[in-house]
Structure 1
Amino acid sequence: MSDLPISEDEAAHSVSAPWRVSDGALVAEFATTDMARGGEFVARIIAAAEELNHHPDIDIRYATVRLGLLTHSVGALTELDVELARSISAIAAELGIG
């Protein structure tokens, strides 16, 4: 997986909803049933992030989890962001989170 910059268009076309590009980052919002479920989701995201050694910005507000992905060391989107976004979407699907 490369940490070379990719275009915002390339990133946007490499992921599916709820991911979108905003202010140069991949962002998404996931609605869970309650804060405990949101915490479980975040714990799984953290495990996936540790595997990739690539860490998202995470904001949890009761049952809503907001995520931002940007390769801070590069100052741009990279394939690492796309890969983590796909992993997070897979976790959400496994947990039945939309």
Structure 2
Amino acid sequence: MINLDDTTHAVKQVRLISGELFELALARNGLEFIPGDCVALYTADGKSRPYSIASGSNEDELCFVIRMMEGGEVSPWLMARLPGDAVRLTPPFGWFRP
């Protein structure tokens, strides 16, 4: 189901950290969030998973540290994104706030 409040953000960079761990950096587009918030990131065919925002609330990019799950439905798709690709995400929510 598509949430009408979802927005798209351009990929700035996908940086391999080690093996299956990578950082996904998206254009922030003025998105407001509180430390500890997460968002759901979507694939092109509408599959989604929640990911914690790893960047600070004053940074220009939205960063996520993600483990690529072999056979996963979302993380392999996110890892394959190139700069300029669009990624759809939900507004922030606070599941992971202290």
Q: Above 0.5 in TM-score?
A: no
Q: TM-score, normalised by structure 1?
A: 0.40
Q: TM-score, normalised by structure 2?
A: 0.40
Q: 1 or 2, which has the higher helix percentage?
A: 1
Q: 1 or 2, which has the higher strand percentage?
A: 2
